[in-house]
Amino acid sequence: MLRLGRREFGPHEPVIMAIVNRTPDSFYDRGATFRDEPALARVEQAVAEGAAIIDIGGVKAGPGDEVTAEEEARRTVGFVAEVRRRFPDVIISVDTWRAEVGEAVCEAGADLLNDAWGGVDPGLAEVAARYRVGLVCTHAGGVQPRTRPHRVTYDDVMADILDVTLGLAERAVALGVPRESVLIDPGHDFGKNTRHSLEATRRLDEMVATGWPVLVSLSNKDFVGETLDRPVKERLIGTLATTAVSAWLGAQVYRVHEVAETRQVLEMVASIAGHRVPAVARRGLA
């Protein structure tokens, strides 16, 4: 059982996490939700389309202008509080690697800390434990936040992913983070080249077999773009194909830009797998 905020999810229940970037330079939307009103409209749309989690980020993942912890907090804390006020039942996640930002957003009502940089600040897990909120434990290949991998190598990329994420997850639980609120993430593109990310996808069932809920952040990423040689705005089909494979292999949480399309893919895979009945089943019967 996965428990986040006020919600509980069964083992075969897919969960959509919608991305809301509070940055002026995000790689995908180029600042479309930097201002409050467009961002709140995005939250409303995502919830209506089936997102259970809203993931709020205040710093672009890639290289760019420096964003201090104070500025990151300015971009996220008040917004978290407003989303909590307007959408009391939605699960609020904050994409941050900094403990001080994690503390501030938990005070404002966050339910989940999405640490995409692999525990680079060990204090973040301590914050999650103190506030009894969820934590995403991600493999980032040991790289520093906002840096790109360069000629990174692994003897066995999935073995490294398992070693890091399971270690982070067990540490979090030992600190006091509820076990049922800890997720592991292979960290597609983070500390990896395209071949690494493809292999991580192909072997995702090895992460699922550990028993920890698996989160995948695939949406429009570079490994999709390089695999198909497509720019950012033409990666939806590749993203959805990767989503379907990940769902078949047992991933549970999907961090996405396109909620409605992802929901259809997840529902179709769940029905093929026998975990969901068709919405309508009258062919050959009526």
Which residues have a catalytic role annotated?
A: 221, 255
User: Which tokens hold the place of 198?
Assistant: 């493809």
Q: How far apart are the first and last CA of the chain?
A: 38
Alpha-carbon Rg of the chain, whole angstroms? 18
Cα gap 204→251, rounded to integer Å = 7
DSSP letter (8 states) at residue 143: P
DSSP letter (8 states) at residue 214: B
Please classify residue 37 by burial: count the beta carbons closer than 10 Å to its beta carbon, then call 0-12 exposed, 13-18 middle and 19+ buried. exposed
Please classify residue 261 by burial: count the beta carbons closer than 10 Å to its beta carbon, then call 0-12 exposed, 13-18 middle and 19+ buried. middle
Quick check: 182 and 128 in contact, CB under 8 A? no
- To which H or E segment does residue 95 belong? strand 91-95
Cα gap 130→219, rounded to integer Å = 31
- Across the chain, where does the E strand assignment appear? 2-4, 7-9, 15-21, 53-57, 91-95, 112-115, 134-138, 182-185, 215-217, 253-256
